[in-house]
Structure 1
Amino acid sequence: MRRLAIVRQKYNPAGGAERIVSAILRQLHNSDALRPMLITRNWESLDCVEAVRVKPFYLGSVWRDWSFARAARQVWREKQADLVQSHERIPGCDIFRAGDGVHAAWLEARLEGRGWFARLATFCNPYHHYMLRTERAMFRHPALRAVICNSELVRDDVTRRFGVPPQHCVVIYNGVDSAFFNPADARARRGELREQYGIDQDAPLLVYVGSGFERKGVAQAMRAIAPHPDVQLMVVGGDKKLPRYQQLAESMGVANRVHFTGPQRDVRSFYGMADGFILPTLYEPFGSVVVEAMACGLPVLTSTRCGGAELLKAGETGWIAPAGDAEQWQRNVGLWLAARERWDEMGTQARACVRDLSEENMVGQMLALYQRLLAETKMRSLT
């Protein structure tokens, strides 16, 4: 039986990469052809899955990532893994799943339009230097045979920046549980939640979901609703700089229309209480929240640097704008408002666009990739 080593450093219950790793492990649980092995620093308990925990001592983020990468390589070599899929930037893996996108692209998006001080602070941060160097080394390493990209956005960044052949980049969109994320169940608490947050039942409401308010554009979302006095904004998620965003809402004059809920377990119901979803992200390799919102029947407003935007039909299921273009975001909110009579129709179309993005299909595409690579290895060994 062939052995597949999957590398992910730590477990975050809300993390998209973690859900995907768990999905792969579940589907390979009874496989007769491929036995999975998880190499990790910290993970949840997984029945009947070989988990090798490596916890080298470290001080600081650079040492943390470097020491884990070194230990993970040692493990997969000792265990003689036939195929190694890493979710971390580790030179020498066979497959890299670029679920977090390209660090160089994220830095570029983050610094666009920023002043010299922000650029100096980024330059002086040793972690960015480590990430850029390691990322470049991994993408150019001769052992790398495939890159799993969760959007065409990521694929294009990888091929353009690192010269990875396009045929080595496989686009596999994240799966969504459309049976769970559905309009009927999402809207079951609509009236209750609107009453709880003091929002009129007929008020047009946009919802944002996610942490990391700077990267995902909460400030831009607030600017976008500013000229539209009837529009309410629900911000679902946490951020350590929350007071700064609350003060910003005050300074913009929208504090009475922006509702910060903090992290929520029942995210589905917050999709259901809204009439549209907004994510003006600076850089989002895919954005699972986009497809969750679409599955719940919401039109979506997102940015050109969001991989999930590839699933939208402009004007039919949502609107797209550059992350930094405040005027276009305000216009798009206006277009969304003007389409009020079509919201239900747009939501139905949005849900249809993500119907085939199941977890089973996503993992099935990955398993097909594994089999192809293993078959190529076998053919090379016979020649």
Structure 2
Amino acid sequence: MKIGISANALSYGGGLERYAMDLVRAMAAQGVKPAFFARGFDETLPEYRFVEPRRIAVSLLPGKLRDHWFSWRLRRARRVAEVDVLIGCNRVDSSEIAICGGTHLGFMRATGRTPRRSDRWQVALEKRQYARAEVVVAHSVQMRDELRELYDLDEAKIRVMFPPVDAARFQPCAAAERAQLRKRFDFADGEIVLLFPSSSHDRKGLPLIEAALRGVDLPVVVAVAGRKAVSADKRIRYIGYVKDLEQAYSAADFTILASKYEPFGLVGVESAMCGTPVILSNSIGCCDAISDHAKLMFRSGDVDDLRATLHRAVQSFRSKTSAPPELAQDALRYDAAVASHVARLLELAATVRGGHARRPSTEALVASSCDDSPLNR
């Protein structure tokens, strides 16, 4: 059985690009070398040797048309590569297994965005992807619910599989190492540090966190890692881009996210695996994956509830009886091992291969997509 993976790029990016890289490494460990379809490849990465690279160029097209062109060209590229089962980690309408790490309709609903023509194009492509896939892997219960409610998918077609995390990287460190890390990040002994990893501060909820801190006398510092943050509140402290995020998790006392829309939120799982509890809005997908003892939750968008939760966090910190290694034990409600996740995906691939003949022909795919493709407008 020949496996293919489709993603925007083979690189150390975020989101589904990172997920695709996890799949590549775990498949290599199991002796599987997939065909990898992407817009670009970082040939310096060790993972490049683990795949059959198949580049689909899109750079000459306007940005809003690139997803559609890639999806259309992929149909032929996968035939040439003789792929039996394709795992789609980006918006493509010819994958047997579609990975859902977020939906465009869900994003627009959560953020109150008024649909533009380009949004309608993206949604149309998503709908084709999910309708034509044999199986749709939802990365959270929230995504499953959006697929049923917003895309009218039959639940029997959906498999909820929380995304994997590298346990060798994200694990508690020794107390002495943690003390050194706090010095490195300039965290004072009397500070209760809330780590806020973010490259999109509005979407991740920094304005809500700032509002919750106003008028509150708590010994907390919000350490922003990622994109630079500017705030009049001295308790909002920018610590720069942190490449080894596991070190920041270990140095902090809590990790906080107040996202308006977060289909899963690996940050929460990674932090809990490092033994650092999380403060999360209840709209974040990973809430279902983290055990109660490792998280504090507040109502999404509710500044008063977040403020009350910050008070609870301070009380919890002052009365805590367990060290990070103890908190990390059973902090997750699922097996987050990459090898286990890939084994399940390969099992799914084996089951859907038998149904490959039931899929529409390439001619039917092309005909059915001509009318709604922006490439023809």
What residue is the counterpart of 1:37 in the other structure? 35
Q: Distance between the aligned counterparts of 1:283 and 1:350, measured in 2?
A: 26
What residue is the counterpart of 1:68 in the other structure? 70
The question of whether the paired residues in 1 share the 8 Å contact of 2:268 and 2:286 is answered with: yes
Query: Can you give the 5+ residue segments of structure 2 that lack an aligned partner in the other structure?
Result: 360-377
Q: CA deviation at 1:168?
A: 1.3
Pair 76,298 (structure 1): closer, same or farther in 2 beyond 3 Å: same
The question of whether the paired residues in 2 share the 8 Å contact of 1:40 and 1:54 is answered with: yes
Q: 3-state SS of the aligned residue for 1:285?
A: coil
Q: CA deviation at 1:11?
A: 3.8
Q: Distance between the aligned counterparts of 2:176 and 2:70, measured in 1?
A: 45
Q: State how 1:114-193 maps to structure 2 within 5 Å.
A: 119=113, 122-123=114-115, 125-140=116-131, 143-184=132-173, 190-192=178-180
Tell whether 2:86 aligns with 1:84.
yes
Q: State how 1:1-383 maps to structure 2 within 5 Å.
A: 2-29=1-28, 36-45=34-43, 46-99=48-101, 101-111=102-112, 119=113, 122-123=114-115, 125-140=116-131, 143-184=132-173, 190-192=178-180, 194-195=182-183, 198-226=186-214, 227-238=216-227, 242=228, 245-246=229-230, 249-250=231-232, 254=233, 256-314=234-292, 316-343=293-320, 345=322, 347=324, 348-354=326-332, 356-377=335-356
The question of whether the paired residues in 2 share the 8 Å contact of 1:304 and 1:323 is answered with: yes
Q: Distance between the aligned counterparts of 1:379 and 1:126, measured in 2?
A: 32
- For 1:239-285, what per-residue CA distance to the aligned partner results, in whole angstroms no more than 9, with x for missing partners? xxx4xx51xx31xxx2x111112321121221122111101111111
Q: CA deviation at 1:228?
A: 3.6
Q: Distance between the aligned counterparts of 2:172 and 2:11, measured in 1?
A: 27
Q: Distance between the aligned counterparts of 2:18 and 2:144, measured in 1?
A: 21
Q: CA deviation at 1:351?
A: 4.2
The question of whether the paired residues in 2 share the 8 Å contact of 1:11 and 1:43 is answered with: yes
Q: CA deviation at 1:109?
A: 0.8
Q: CA deviation at 1:363?
A: 1.2
Q: Distance between the aligned counterparts of 1:176 and 1:57, measured in 2?
A: 32
1:368 maps to amino acid: E
Pair 6,339 (structure 1): closer, same or farther in 2 beyond 3 Å: same
The question of whether the paired residues in 2 share the 8 Å contact of 1:275 and 1:343 is answered with: no
Q: CA deviation at 1:65?
A: 1.6
What residue is the counterpart of 2:368 in the other structure? none
CA RMSD in angstroms, aligned pairs only: 2.5
Query: Can you give the 5+ residue segments of structure 1 that lack an aligned partner in the other structure?
Result: 112-118
Pair 82,134 (structure 1): closer, same or farther in 2 beyond 3 Å: same
- The percent of aligned pairs where both chains have the same amino acid is 23
Q: 3-state SS of the aligned residue for 1:131?
A: helix
TM-score for both structures, normalised by structure 2: 0.85
Q: Distance between the aligned counterparts of 2:219 and 2:30, measured in 1?
A: 55
Q: CA deviation at 1:290?
A: 0.8
What residue is the counterpart of 2:373 in the other structure? none
TM-score for both structures, normalised by structure 1: 0.84
2:237 maps to amino acid: H
2:70 maps to amino acid: F
Q: CA deviation at 1:156?
A: 1.1
After alignment, is 165-174 or 16-25 more displaced?
Answer: 16-25
Q: 3-state SS of the aligned residue for 2:173?
A: helix
Q: Distance between the aligned counterparts of 1:103 and 1:356, measured in 2?
A: 28
The question of whether the paired residues in 2 share the 8 Å contact of 1:217 and 1:323 is answered with: no
The question of whether the paired residues in 2 share the 8 Å contact of 1:189 and 1:269 is answered with: no
Q: Distance between the aligned counterparts of 1:379 and 1:55, measured in 2?
A: 30
Q: 3-state SS of the aligned residue for 2:2?
A: strand
The question of whether the paired residues in 1 share the 8 Å contact of 2:68 and 2:125 is answered with: no
Pair 358,30 (structure 1): closer, same or farther in 2 beyond 3 Å: closer
Q: Distance between the aligned counterparts of 2:12 and 2:50, measured in 1?
A: 20
Q: CA deviation at 1:364?
A: 1.5
Q: 3-state SS of the aligned residue for 1:73?
A: helix
2:26 maps to amino acid: Q
